[in-house]
Amino acid sequence: MKSGKRKKGTAAFIAACLFPSLILLSLFVIYPTLSIFRVSLYKWGGYSAEKIFTGFENYKILFRDGRFFDSLRNSFLLIIVVTAVTLVLSLFTAEVLSREKLFGKTFFRIVFYIPNILSTVVIAAVFSAIYDPSRGLLNSVISLFSPGTRILWLGDRSLVIYSVAIAMIWQAVGYYMVMYMSSMAQIPESLYEAASLEGAGRLRSFFSVTLPGIAPTLRTTLTFFIISNINISFLLVRAMTGGGPDGGSEVLLSYMYKQAYTNSSYGYGMAIGTVVFLFSFALAAAVNLATRTKD
- pLDDT of residue 13 exceeding 80: no
Banded model confidence at residue 134, pLDDT cuts 50, 70, 90 = confident
Is residue 88 within 8 A of residue 169, CB to CB? The reply is: no
* Separation between Cα atoms, residue 290 and residue 276, nearest integer Å: 21
Q: What pLDDT sits at residue 5?
A: 61
* Separation between Cα atoms, residue 38 and residue 293, nearest integer Å: 38
Q: What pLDDT sits at residue 287?
A: 82
Lowest pLDDT segment from 92-106, 149-163, 199-213: 92-106
- pLDDT of residue 130 exceeding 90: yes
Q: What pLDDT sits at residue 233?
A: 92
Q: Count of CB atoms within 10 A of residue 177's CB?
A: 26
Residue from 251, 246, 259 nearest 279 by CA: 251
* Separation between Cα atoms, residue 183 and residue 181, nearest integer Å: 5
Q: What pLDDT sits at residue 6?
A: 65
* Separation between Cα atoms, residue 28 and residue 253, nearest integer Å: 19
DSSP H helical ranges for the chain:
2-25, 31-39, 57-62, 66-99, 105-117, 120-130, 137-145, 160-184, 189-197, 202-205, 211-213, 215-240, 252-257, 266-290
Cα angle for residues 169, 219, 235 (degrees, 5° grid): 35
Q: What is the mean pLDDT of residues 194-221?
A: 87
Is residue 58 within 8 A of residue 268, CB to CB? The reply is: yes
Q: What are phi and psi of 53, to 5 degrees?
A: -70, 125
- pLDDT of residue 95 exceeding 70: yes
DSSP H helical ranges for 100-186:
105-117, 120-130, 137-145, 160-184
- State the helix-helix crossing angle for 105-117 and 66-99, rounded to 10 degrees: 160
Residue from 164, 124, 159, 157 nearest 142 by CA: 159
- Give the model confidence (pLDDT) of 32-66 as tens digits: 888 889 999 998 887 777 888 888 999 999 999 99
Peptide bond before 245: cis, by omega within 30 degrees of 0?
Answer: yes
- State the helix-helix crossing angle for 160-184 and 215-240, rounded to 10 degrees: 150
Q: What pLDDT sits at residue 132?
A: 92
- Give the model confidence (pLDDT) of 277-289 as tens digits: 898 888 888 888 8
Burial bucket for residue 232 (CB in 10 Å: 0-12, 13-18, 19+): buried
- pLDDT of residue 269 exceeding 70: yes
Q: What pLDDT sits at residue 240?
A: 92
SS3 (DSSP) at 149: coil
Q: What pLDDT sits at residue 99?
A: 77
Distances 293 to 34, 88, 154, 183, 290 between C-alpha atoms, Å: 33, 21, 42, 18, 9
When the pLDDT of each residue in the chain is averaged and rounded to a whole number, the result is 87
Q: What is the model's pTM?
A: 0.87
- pLDDT of residue 88 exceeding 90: yes
